[in-house]
Amino acid sequence: MAAPTPKTQQRQIGKQGFIMWNAVWANGDNMTDVAVIDLSAASEGHTNNLAILKVEWLCTAGIEFTLEFDDDGGSDDEFILTSTLGSVTWGKACFTEYGCDGAHYLGSGGTGDLVITTTSAASADEVTLMIYYRVD
């Protein structure tokens, strides 16, 4: 068996975008570097830079996830955030507070896509992400 195929709803107008991403597990297979936002598929030719503005998430108690900017299969993915294992309330990380303009991929090379890796997956686990972003 394999990790679940996420369901997504995405909307991008100009440089601003939003994606709702949801996956439900039927087994214990974890995800490793699965694209949540594929920068090369961004609309209107804005494919040079991805800025994560805000992430909201909800998980079942038994699963944990990490979001990173992809270093194209390398070992230097850039960390963005990790959920708290066991938390079943909505989590939120805002990267535009205090004058910041979002979380950006700072590496060279790689895709700069937003990817997810999960740990501790079991049957019936679920992860829901709502991500607000900007592309250049």
- pLDDT at site 73: 61
- pLDDT at site 9: 96
Per-residue pLDDT of the chain (136 residues), as tens digits, is 688 999 999 998 888 999 999 999 999 999 999 999 998 877 677 777 899 999 999 999 999 999 999 987 666 899 999 999 999 999 999 999 988 999 998 877 778 899 999 999 999 999 999 999 998 8
CB 16 within 8 A of CB 134: yes
Report the chain's terminal Cα–Cα distance, integer Å: 38
Domains and CATH numbers, the chain: 7-135 (2.60.120)
- pLDDT at site 21: 98
- pLDDT at site 45: 72
> What global pTM score does this model have?
0.92
- pLDDT at site 59: 97
Phi-psi label, residue 74: left if phi above 0, alpha if psi -120 to 50, beta otherwise = beta
Q: Which residues pair with 128 in a beta bridge?
A: 22, 58
